[in-house]
Amino acid sequence: MTENYNKPSRADEFKRKNSNPCKRFMSWSSNDKCFTYYDKEKAENVKVELPIRFIRLKELSTVKGWHDASSSGIFSNEVVNLFTDELNVRAFKGGDLVKGLYSKIKPSVIQTGGHYEKSIYALDGTGELVNIALKGSGVSAWSDFLEKEGTDRLLNEWVIVDNAIDMQKGSIKYSVPSFAFLKELNSDEQEEADTKYRTFMDYFDKYKVQNKEVTEDTIDVIND
C-alpha cells in the first residue's frame, strides 16, 4: 500500500498561495453615481447599482494612482496606522517610486501621480467579502458620516449607500456616496461577519509578515 506523506512537489510552485479572499474591489464612479468593480473575465468595469449595504470589517490606508512615466497604475502596501506604518509606493511598470511615512512622502506621492485612498474591507449584502476604495471627497464623506453617527455603531449595524450627493468645487461638478446606518445585525449576521473578518485577517497578517502588498491580482482600472 502506498503511503501519502504529503511531500512537497514541483507543482506547489504553480499553486496560488494566500490569494486575496475578496470577491470584488469596488470604487466610486463620480460620473455614474455608483460603485464599480473590474470584472477580470469580462475585462471591463461593472456598475454596482445603488442601494448597496455592507458590514465594515477592517479599514486600511493605501496609495493608488497613475504613473505617466511608465504608463501604468500606482499601488502600495496597505497599512493600519498611517502615522507609524511606512508605505512602499510603486508603479506596475515603473518599479519603486517612494517609501516612508505618508506625512513625509506625500509631496512625492502627488508628484508621481499618486493619491491617498481609504481601503474598507466589508461583508456585503450578498454575503461576499469585498473591498471598497474611497479617495478625495469620498474619504471626507465617510469620515463625516462616522463623526456624526459614531464609529461604535459599526460593530453592530449595517451601513447603506442608497444615493449620491452632488457636489461642486469651482466649476467642477462631482458626486460622493451618501452613507447611513440601516439596521442592527442579527446573530447570524454577526457570526458571518466574524467569520469573514477572521478570513481576511489571516490573509492580511501573513502578507504583513512577508512584507508584500495587499492588492488585487490585476491592475486596477482608474475611475473618474
Domain definitions of the chain by residue range: 20-38+46-210
- State residue 105 phi and psi, 5-degree precision: -100, 0
Looking at residue 20, its pLDDT comes to: 82
| 199 CB burial (10 A radius; 0-12, 13-18, 19+) | middle
Residues 65-98 pLDDT 10s: 999 999 999 999 999 999 999 999 999 999 999 9
The answer to whether residue 31 scores a pLDDT higher than 70 is yes
Residues 155-196 pLDDT 10s: 999 999 999 999 999 999 999 999 999 999 999 999 999 999
State the first-to-last Cα distance of the chain, in angstroms, to the nearest integer: 62
Assigned C-alpha cell, 218: 490585476
